[in-house]
Structure formats: structure tokens, C-alpha cells
Amino acid sequence: AQSVAQPEDQVNVAEGNPLTVKCTYSVSGNPYLFWYVQYPNRGLQFLLKYITGDNLVKGSYGFEAEFNKSQTSFHLKKPSALVSDSALYFCAVRDGSNSGYALNFGKGTSLLVTP
Amino acid sequence: DSGVTQTPKHLITATGQRVTLRCSPRSGDLSVYWYQQSLDQGLQFLIQYYNGEERAKGNILERFSAQQFPDLHSELNLSSLELGDSALYFCASSPRLAGSGELFFGEGSRLTVL
């Protein structure tokens, strides 16, 4: 099955600094990769996706992600973090192996942006 | 607001009981997915329906079942509940079976089993 891994449980960054949330993937074939964000007591919100094309994908709220095939990574980035970016971030990969195309999620990374 | 509606938002019940969680997908979406989120297991895919038919199964226990009705709403039935079933259950929908892939999530139903 297709899978992703998020090696960090928590990332701390000061407001105004750049942030990176890491994700690596393990897939057969071409990956469909996603980032979602979850605010406390809320559902998951789609941020961005990579299917094909440019390795740098731009998404919502100023976030972007860099697809790196040689390193099998899809790291989420933002040039200047905001306190309001503090949330739980999930990387996901579409699993076409079971004919349903569900998304398989990583364990999530908690991002804390301090003033 | 994603357009996906889940009820109830919170549910407290006892071990051994049965509950039903309901999901209304976004208007026009044919595919419905159920996920379970817990602290120890993370976000686990349970089951998917497309236009009324089961399409994929994930880590769903035999005590759990789901269905999608002709009006496309879906229900997740959890029976013989155990303490470990306490979790946040999410429904997500998408327009087609595959398509561009992103799913639209509801706010979740928080189940507490005492």
C-alpha cells in the first residue's frame, strides 16, 4: 500500500521565521500527494496537492510544498510563519491499490508558532 | 465550511452499546469515506462508498459496518462498543471515484465510550 511518514511529532518556530514540516512517501508508480491542516476541534482542510508538473506546489494560506522524487519527500513550507498557523498538519498519499482511491495519512505533525 | 455534515457532533455511550453516525456529503459528491482519528492510531481509513456501493475497506473492525443510501448520505454503525472505540470519526466526500483526489471533510463525530 502507498504510505507517507512524518518524522516529527512537533515543530516549533517563531513568528516571522520560515517553517518546514517534513513528509516522506513510499509509493509504487506516480504519487498523488496532499497536505491537510486540522485546527482544534475541526475537520481536516485541504491545503495543496501534487499530481504532476512543477515540483513546487502552491496552496492555501501562503503554504507551498516541494516534491523531490530522488529523496521521496514532499515537505510543506511557508516563508514567514504566523501564530494562526499553529495546528496539526497531515501529509497524505492517494492509495489506488484498493480500487477506492482513499487517502492514507501520516500521523500528523503539530506546528506551534510562538509570538 | 466544507459542505459535509456529520451528526451527532458528540456522543457518550456505554460499553456494549450500538451507535449510528450519520454523514451528508457535499451536494453532488458521489463518494463517501469514513475515517477514525485517535491519539494512538492517528487517522485511519475505515471504509469507502461510491454511489451506493462499497468500494474499498481499510482497517474497519467486524463490529463496524456502513452503508450509503440512494440519497447519498451515509451511516456508520458501531456495535458492541469497547473503551478503545472512543475516537473522533470523520466523514469525507469527493465528487468522483478518483478524479483529482482531494477529499472534503466534515467536522467529525466525537464518540466517548464509558
Residue B102 at interface with chain A, using a CB cutoff of 8 Å = yes
For B84-110, what is each residue's pLDDT tens digit? 999 999 999 998 766 677 889 999 999
Q: Flag if B104 and A46 touch (Cβ within 8 Å).
A: yes
Instruction: Tell me the mean pLDDT in the region A85-102.
Output: 83
The most distant pair of C-alpha atoms in chain A lies apart, rounded to whole Å, by: 45
C-alpha cell recorded at residue A77: 513550507
For B1-31, what is each residue's pLDDT tens digit? 889 999 999 999 999 999 999 999 999 999 9
> Mean pLDDT across chain A, nearest whole number?
92
Task: Compute the half-sphere exposure of residue A41: CA atoms within 13 Å on the CB side of its CA.
Answer: 2
Please name the member of B58, B97, B105 whose beta carbon is closest to the beta carbon of A43: B105
CA distance B32 to B35: 10
For A68-90, what is each residue's pLDDT tens digit? 999 999 999 999 999 999 999 99
pLDDT more than 90, % of chain A = 76
CA distance A9 to A1: 23
Please name the member of A44, A51, A99 whose beta carbon is closest to the beta carbon of B105: A44
Task: Compute the half-sphere exposure of residue A87: CA atoms within 13 Å on the CB side of its CA.
Answer: 19
DSSP of chain A: --EEE---SEEEEETTS-EEE--EEE-SSS--EEEEEE-TTS-EEEEEEESSS-SEEE-GGG-EEEEETTTTEEEEEESS--GGG-EEEEEEEEE-TTSS-EEEE---EEEEEE-
List beta partners, residue A45: A37
Whole-number pLDDT of residue A87: 97
Whole-number pLDDT of residue B102: 84
Residue A32 at interface with chain B, using a CB cutoff of 8 Å = yes
pLDDT classification of B59: cutoffs 50, 70, 90: confident
Q: Which residues of A24-56 are buried (b: 16+ CB within 10 A; e: fewer)?
A: bbebeeebbbbbbbbeeeebbbbbbbbeeeeee
Taking contacts as CB-CB distances below 8 angstroms, the residues of chain B near A43 are: 2, 4, 90, 105-108
For A27-54, what is each residue's pLDDT tens digit? 888 889 999 999 988 899 999 999 888 8
Instruction: Tell me the mean pLDDT in the region B69-73.
Output: 96
Whole-number pLDDT of residue A96: 67
Please name the member of A34, A90, A100 whose beta carbon is closest to the beta carbon of B102: A34
Whole-number pLDDT of residue A99: 60
Q: Flag if B56 and A100 touch (Cβ within 8 Å).
A: yes
Which residue has cell 482519528?
Answer: B37
CA distance B70 to B47: 18
Cβ–Cβ under 8 Å, residues A11 and A110: yes
Whole-number pLDDT of residue B87: 96
**CA B20 from centre of chain:** 10
pLDDT of A66 higher than 90: yes
Whole-number pLDDT of residue B74: 98
Q: Which residue has the higher pLDDT, B41 or A90?
A: A90
C-alpha cell recorded at residue A23: 513528509
List beta partners, residue B9: none
Whole-number pLDDT of residue B53: 93
